Structure 1
Amino acid sequence: MNAAIPGGSFAPAHLDQFSQKRYDTHRHSNPTEGTVGMTEPLATHHAPRTTHKTDWLLIGVLVALVLPLRLWLICNTEVTARDSIGYIRYALQFEQKPWAKVLQQNHQHPGYPVLVWLTSLPIRAMEDATTAANMTLSAQLVSLVASLVLLVPMYWLGRQFFDRPVSFFATLLYQYLPISAQHLSDGISEPLYLVFLVMGLLQMVHGIRNRSVWRCALGGVFAGLAYLTRPEGALILPALGLMLIVMQIRPTWRCSWWRCGGCGSAAVFSAIAVGCTYAIVIGGLTNKPAPLVAMGFAERAEMKRPVDIAGPLSLFAATIPPTDNKLLSLGRSVWALGEEINQGFHYLAGVPALLGFVWSFAGLRRQPAFWALMAYIAIHGLILISLAMRVYYISDRHVMILVIGGCFFAVVALSELPRRILAWRKPVSQAPTETTGWLRSAPLWSAVLFVALLGACLPKATQRLHGNRAGNHAAGIWLAEHLHEGDVVMDDHAWSMFHAGLVFEEGREPKLPRDLEATCYIVITRSRDPRAQPQSQVIGVEFNPDGTAKSLRTVPIAKDAKTVYTWPPKAEADKVRVLIYAQRRDNDIHPWKKNP
């Protein structure tokens, strides 16, 4: 696990493809337009074709090491993420309404919901039903495949700058970090988004290094696919464009303006070709309120519009107290961003990542491809800070790509730290013995540190997915057994409604008898915080007849409401976490069509 850049310097390295042709004649000359007189050092020598077999073998080992974790988490899922419920609703709309209307009515980008819908077709066909269980499985299978595919571009992205051990162990570490492990197994868009994003960044690195038009075009394709999954996927393009301009300013990195323009144009036009259909249909770049607010194109109030049952905000987020002091807001936003990144590293790998970056910087700074990645990180970070200043939160999902980059530096530090410490503590005259020889082995201590870090991650990484929502799951199953025609459920956490099957009946308005005495079930999830006040009302989402979210509705708990279910069963009153109240359905709050 030796770092590729010990002490901040590189071993002799191969030239990039564009420089190789003229290296012998131009190595010591001033570059002219159309030539490049510099080398772009990599962590290893130019590898013959046969060494790629070793890389692919290591990727196969990664799959074998990661697949058990993914299967474990899928088999140990209590409920899917609340955002996943919105994606599932989105996916099912593709077979209920015209696609253009579906895209216009949903804030999320369609890449992930489309794949969830396609995956669900054979699964639902086997069961001849649409249920919470098979739709959850469909969403998680998309994430499972994406998380395994992610191993390939992440490993190869690392190989552009580091040796095999660093790339291998960094890729493995990312999959086992608790937040990454949980999110990559959940029914959310991040796994698919990261696949397209890292593939796009990898092609951008190749395009910058080789001044390759077709590589830049391929990077644009993946940028377009990432954009179809999440709006920030398009950030690859400004990072690439900025770096192409900077390269023309610095003489040692300069190439012909024709090639520079060709690379930039290829990336932009290929990205437009992939993503333009969605943008044309919705009449803009995105329907999501958060990016629009962050860029100043929408008001903060837009964030309050219900996107889906889950709402627009993530439970796993750093919230920031609102303030009119811009400087204070900036400081809090930067601090929140740092907190989320540190949490993404499970707190233990954050400092090693910083050390690895410092120790690697001397060698990496000579590579324009490295600065292209730094440009992307800078743009991404600035947008997150802007988002935090305007909507007062940053989610841990937002920083997952930053943690990917940091994992390489964390592994560099774990490799380099023992070597530096042992060199500092080297005995003056004592001859090495068989015992002291292995005790002073830097690779051995690097392996010990890595195994210790991975071991510290495992308990959290393998936790039951959303296991703290077992009560909401159980409440949904109870409701499914007790609901009758005309009954309604108000649940501010959505899981009970989902597992009761009501999500699949949204928008349906059956005609009911005039004298119907229907029931309104109110699901309350109690906080474990002793300072939390008992709820006297519940906030739910009201839907239009076509199934789209219309508004938030507050339903008070009636004085004569009866407690019909508690979880845990037979628990003491102060230990109950989930309650279901039953009260008469109010026609003023929940009107229904009556039979004549």
Structure 2
Amino acid sequence: MSASVGARLESVAPKRTLFGPDYLRLAVLAAVALSVHVWLMSHTALTARDSLGFARQTLCYETPSAVPVGPGERAKTAIDLVRESEHPPGYPLVIWGTFKAVSLVSTAPVADRALFSAQLANALAAVLLVVPTYLIGRLLFSRNVGFAAALLFQVLPVPARITSDGLTEGVYLLATATALFFAVRAVTTPRISSFLLCGLAIGASYLVRPEGLMLFTGPAAVVFWLGLIRRWPRDIALGRLAALFVGVCLVAVPYMALIGKLTNKPSPGQMLNLLAPPQPVYRGANAVPAAPSGPLFAEWWNDARDSGQSQNVWAVNAVFKEVSKGANYVVWPLAVFAVLALRRKLVAEPGPWVLLVLAACNLTVLLYLAARVGYVSERHTVLLTLLACQLAAAGLPLLAASIGQVFPRVERFGVRVTAATLLVALVIGALPFALKPMHPNREGHKHAGRWLAANLRSDEALVDPFCWAAWYSGRALYRPSGYNPEFSSATYIVKENNARTPHSRLPVLSEANQLAAQPNSSVVYHWPENVSEDEAVIHVVRIRSVGQLVYGTASAVAGGARGTE
């Protein structure tokens, strides 16, 4: 940059935005985030079921000719696959780039490489997430608040584990936090470029998950209000709002035009159909009580259990449970405390209102989702948790001061409560739960899949209601059905032995169990291999010469499972 001063052209140094203390804090945050995600990735027995769909979508994008088509149909192109896929293309494209890099250094089977690439893409994005998270807190409050917010989010159990799995959350949150940073900067130091960049980031988050468009409400509401009360000239406010809108459209509209609607996912369509009555996606018809090994990752409406109460009341209760769990139960109370304590600052400055408006909008959407669809997951709450961490971090110094005033005698014993000690206590309390191994109870499905890969013939069918073994066998890499020939010489069924599984909502689980119980069936593989068949966790059952009957039963074996483990 240069400027003319006194008829002389003089160089003007660009204004710095980050300094040594910022880089030091970011380095510590990156080290912590990297350690957490490397640990969790190295202690993952099996990725979540949804990761199979994203990895499959990636492989189909890479080799569209491998995607099966019906009789008389033309071969699929990548554009066809983007148009027809239920999920937006953003995350599979990130996985594809990671998969190409992993393939340069790994000779593992395609099934393993694709799932590892999904997990790695998610985790790397989560590590990069420390940058915008820190910058948001620094811009709104201080360096220490930004550091505390980013650190807290990285070690909370639900965010840490979800962003270390093969799911979309890491990439989605990276785009979301980047959009939030530009939004906060735009309303505090208004520039057209910041609003445009914010819109582009919102569009990018939409290409990962359709609810990314929800981010538009935060900065748009603040700009509208500041223009309405004439804090900003209305024509200038309108121009800034237009820049925000244009940025979103530049990224989002091409995809909308390609698919011809807002999203291919069924849940948003059901939510927007106001004339239709609420219709739970999982009615619990085949419900089996979950094993007591751990909590479920979501709340589902169950006709047998919940039909006597209002679905709206159930929705409030379900959202409260999942939001509390996502924030590790203590973060949201601390955030509410901070809002009350800092209410004058929050009201006077426009930056925090971006977070507050977005939090209110997200909570409203979750309540409506639960009421209409009868389902809400802890995955849906991670953005709320990210917002809560910013406010909770700002409340730590105030809470420490309040504790010192209420319990003054504590300092007489040489114990001083500070924001740093509270942060350390929160981190120490969260890490043991965050660092637990991922999905160890599902490891047997991978071994069953590898056994099937070595023993399953092309003229034999496979029924796998859990989907993982079908993936590792190579049958479900490009199609969710696992490829079952119309007339099979034998059929293999993957079964959990004596499991009271929380996956009882799977569409063909009951049917698969009935097939496995037929008189002509026999267990041909079990895992662990060093225990007796009765003590094994996983059974692979073989039925001889069932033919077309099994093909009709198994046509949807490996796909269609909603949710994650």
CA distances 1:130-171 after superposition (whole Å, capped 9, x unpaired) = 522111221122112201111111111111222222211221
CA distance in 2, matches of 1:528, 1:350: 35
> Is contact 2:56–2:479 with CA below 8 Å preserved after alignment?
no
SS at match of 2:466: coil
Aligned partner (choices 457, 462, 471) of residue 498 of structure 1: 471
Distance apart, 1:425 and its partner CA: 3.5
Paired position in structure 2 for 1:279: 256
CA distance in 2, matches of 1:130, 1:441: 55
CA distances 1:19-59 after superposition (whole Å, capped 9, x unpaired) = xxxxxxxxxxxxxxxxxxxxxxxxxxxxx847633212211
Instruction: Tell me which amino acid in the other structure corresponds to 1:276.
Output: V
CA distance in 1, matches of 2:255, 2:502: 46
Paired position in structure 1 for 2:289: none
> Is contact 2:323–2:378 with CA below 8 Å preserved after alignment?
yes
Distance apart, 1:280 and its partner CA: 1.0
Aligned partner (choices 214, 218, 234) of residue 197 of structure 2: 218
Paired position in structure 2 for 1:482: 455
Seen in structure 2, the aligned counterparts of structure 1 residues 127 and 418 have a Cα distance that, compared at 3 Å, is: closer
Paired position in structure 1 for 2:6: none
Paired position in structure 2 for 1:24: none
Aligned partner (choices 320, 326, 347) of residue 338 of structure 1: 320
SS at match of 1:423: helix
Is 1:522 the counterpart of 2:489? The answer is: no
SS at match of 2:87: coil
CA distance in 2, matches of 1:324, 1:464: 32
SS at match of 1:589: helix
SS at match of 1:501: coil
Aligned partner (choices 282, 301, 312) of residue 320 of structure 1: 301
Paired position in structure 1 for 2:555: none
Coordinate RMSD, CA, aligned: 3.4
Paired position in structure 2 for 1:407: 389
Structure 2 residue runs of 5 or longer lacking an equivalent are 1-14, 65-75, 283-294, 553-565
CA distances 1:362-412 after superposition (whole Å, capped 9, x unpaired) = 321212222222222222211111110111111111110100111133334
Instruction: Tell me which amino acid in the other structure corresponds to 1:317.
Output: A
Aligned partner (choices 52, 57, 77) of residue 24 of structure 2: 57
Distance apart, 1:281 and its partner CA: 1.0
CA distance in 1, matches of 2:88, 2:239: 29
Which moves more between the two structures, 404-413 or 95-104? 404-413
Aligned partner (choices 128, 132, 142) of residue 163 of structure 1: 142
Paired position in structure 1 for 2:237: 260
Instruction: Tell me which amino acid in the other structure corresponds to 1:120.
Output: F
Q: How does 1:48-447 map to 2 (within 5 A)?
A: 49=16, 52-94=19-61, 95-96=63-64, 97-127=76-106, 130-251=109-230, 254-296=231-273, 316-321=297-302, 328-426=310-408, 439-443=414-418, 446-447=419-420
Sequence identity (%): 27
Distance apart, 1:271 and its partner CA: 1.0
Paired position in structure 2 for 1:472: 445
CA distance in 2, matches of 1:55, 1:572: 58
> Is contact 1:560–1:583 with CA below 8 Å preserved after alignment?
yes
CA distances 1:414-465 after superposition (whole Å, capped 9, x unpaired) = 43333222223336xxxxxxx966825332xx43333232222222211222
> Is contact 2:138–2:144 with CA below 8 Å preserved after alignment?
no
Instruction: Tell me which amino acid in the other structure corresponds to 2:85.
Output: N
SS at match of 1:586: coil
Distance apart, 1:124 and its partner CA: 2.9
SS at match of 1:379: helix
Paired position in structure 1 for 2:290: none
CA distance in 2, matches of 1:528, 1:539: 13
Seen in structure 2, the aligned counterparts of structure 1 residues 388 and 240 have a Cα distance that, compared at 3 Å, is: same
Distance apart, 1:571 and its partner CA: 4.5
Paired position in structure 1 for 2:285: none
Seen in structure 2, the aligned counterparts of structure 1 residues 122 and 302 have a Cα distance that, compared at 3 Å, is: farther
Paired position in structure 2 for 1:578: 538
Seen in structure 2, the aligned counterparts of structure 1 residues 351 and 118 have a Cα distance that, compared at 3 Å, is: same
SS at match of 2:348: coil
Seen in structure 2, the aligned counterparts of structure 1 residues 337 and 105 have a Cα distance that, compared at 3 Å, is: same
Distance apart, 1:320 and its partner CA: 3.1
Is 1:587 the counterpart of 2:547? The answer is: yes
> Is contact 1:211–1:260 with CA below 8 Å preserved after alignment?
no
Which moves more between the two structures, 207-216 or 74-83? 207-216
> Is contact 1:209–1:368 with CA below 8 Å preserved after alignment?
yes
| Number of residues of Structure 1 aligned to a counterpart in Structure 2 | 511
Instruction: Tell me which amino acid in the other structure corresponds to 2:496.
Output: T
Distance apart, 1:507 and its partner CA: 8.5
CA distance in 2, matches of 1:487, 1:326: 46
SS at match of 1:451: helix
CA distance in 2, matches of 1:509, 1:203: 44
Instruction: Tell me which amino acid in the other structure corresponds to 1:522.
Output: I
Instruction: Tell me which amino acid in the other structure corresponds to 2:375.
Output: Y
Seen in structure 2, the aligned counterparts of structure 1 residues 114 and 420 have a Cα distance that, compared at 3 Å, is: same
Tell me the TM-score normalized by structure 2. 0.82
Seen in structure 2, the aligned counterparts of structure 1 residues 527 and 203 have a Cα distance that, compared at 3 Å, is: farther
CA distances 1:317-337 after superposition (whole Å, capped 9, x unpaired) = 122345999993222212211
Structure 1 residue runs of 5 or longer lacking an equivalent are 1-47, 305-313, 428-434, 542-552
CA distances 1:547-587 after superposition (whole Å, capped 9, x unpaired) = xxxxxx99674221112223334556775432221102533
Which moves more between the two structures, 54-63 or 558-567? 558-567
> Is contact 1:170–1:411 with CA below 8 Å preserved after alignment?
yes
SS at match of 2:525: strand
Seen in structure 2, the aligned counterparts of structure 1 residues 58 and 531 have a Cα distance that, compared at 3 Å, is: closer
CA distance in 1, matches of 2:388, 2:51: 27
CA distances 1:178-208 after superposition (whole Å, capped 9, x unpaired) = 1111111111111101111111111111222
Distance apart, 1:529 and its partner CA: 3.9
Aligned partner (choices 525, 545, 551) of residue 565 of structure 1: 525
Distance apart, 1:76 and its partner CA: 1.7
Tell me the TM-score normalized by structure 1. 0.78
